[in-house]
Amino acid sequence: MATILDAKGLNKSFGAVTAAKDIHVAVEADSIVGLIGSNGAGKTTFINMVTGYLKPDTGSIVFNGRDITALRPRNITRLGICRSFQIPQLFNSMTVGENLLVGVGIVAGTGGGWAAAGATASSPAAVVDTMLDRFGLGHVRDRQAGLLPEGTRKLLDIAMAMVVQPRILLLDEPTSGVSADEKFTLMDMVMAAVRESRVTVLFVEHDMEIVERYTQRILAFYEGRIIADGVPSHVLADPEVRRYVIGEHVPAAEGTAGHA
């Protein structure tokens, strides 16, 4: 598969704190990549650099063959990298349908047109209908967003990011605040939608069940470094990952094996 995102030599410090240290990541198109690590390990810093909210001190980020390192978040979004947030960014006083309609209007205002918002029809209402159906939100179309349960709010936030029909979707802890009974239903819905749209996904997640079940590849962060990168079965069995990310006690001999 072709590489859609290529980050090379990313470094970022905040005073004496190193948030990213020599990060090299190449992401293939249509892949689903999980980012794991304890709080402060560097996961969100990496996402913020990719989306332009932070500029790396050194290094480069290339998206679809174009260097985006110095671009602003708005320009990066227009190129096709979108994100959802750990706390859903919604218009709480508006209905679900109105939230999506605002998203469609923003896309049209940038010159993308309705087709760029994910529908072949030339009507904004048709675009909203498409997204409601794709994310299973039709039954709450007329509900006020601020009154929705957290799982539904998460779905709406992700649906609004998908209105732009991005090439890459970045999700920050999509199941945080979602009940154990809802988390798999939410992720099934999201993954079905991104597969239908052929979107590359990178998501930060602390729930190892979610990571193991839905990713094709895992990047494990620790103290600003990537300490493991590979298929879930290998990364989750890695002694450093088990010790520093999952929090297991790993015997010293095992913990040093393969990391000399």
Tell me the pLDDT of the chain (260 aa) as tens digits.
799 999 999 999 999 999 999 999 999 999 999 999 998 999 999 999 999 999 999 999 999 999 999 999 999 998 999 998 878 889 999 999 999 988 887 766 554 444 444 444 457 788 889 899 999 999 999 999 999 998 899 999 999 888 888 999 999 889 988 888 889 999 999 999 988 889 999 999 999 999 999 999 999 999 999 999 999 999 999 999 999 999 887 676 555 444 43
Instruction: Return the structure tokens found at 233.
Output: 């079965």
For residues 159 and 174, is the Cβ–Cβ distance under 8 A? no
- Amino acid, res. 97: G
Contact 69, 61 (CB under 8 A): yes
What local confidence, expressed as pLDDT, does residue 107 receive? 67
pLDDT at 117 (0 to 100):
46
What are 132's two structure tokens? 């409601």
How buried is 84 (Cβ within 10 angstroms: 0-12 exposed, 13-18 middle, 19+ buried)? Answer: buried
What is residue 182's predicted lDDT score, i.e. its pLDDT?
A: 87
Residue 165: what pLDDT? Answer: 83
**Reduced to 3 states, what is the DSSP secondary structure of residue 24?**
strand
Phi, psi of 44, rounded to the nearest 5 degrees: -70, -30
Residues 6+ apart with CB under 8 A from 74: none
- CATH architecture of the domain with range 3-256: 3-Layer(aba) Sandwich (3.40)
Residue 49 pLDDT: 97
As a whole number of angstroms, the distance between CA 241 and CA 237 comes to 7
Under a CB-based contact definition with an 8 Å cutoff, are residues 61 and 6 in contact? Answer: yes
pLDDT recorded at residue 216: 96
Tokens of 111: 């010159």
Contact predicate 244/222, CB 8 Å: yes
pLDDT at 213: 95
pLDDT for the residue 109: 57
Torsion of CA 152, 158, 163, 165, to 10 degrees: -140
Return the ∠ at Cα 155 (arms to 154 and 158), rounded to 5°.
85
Q: Tell me, what's the pLDDT at 111?
A: 45
What is residue 12's predicted lDDT score, i.e. its pLDDT? Answer: 97
- Sorted by where each begins, the domain ranges of the chain are 3-256
**Length of the chain in terms of residues written:** 260
pTM for the whole structure:
0.85
Residue 24: what pLDDT? 97
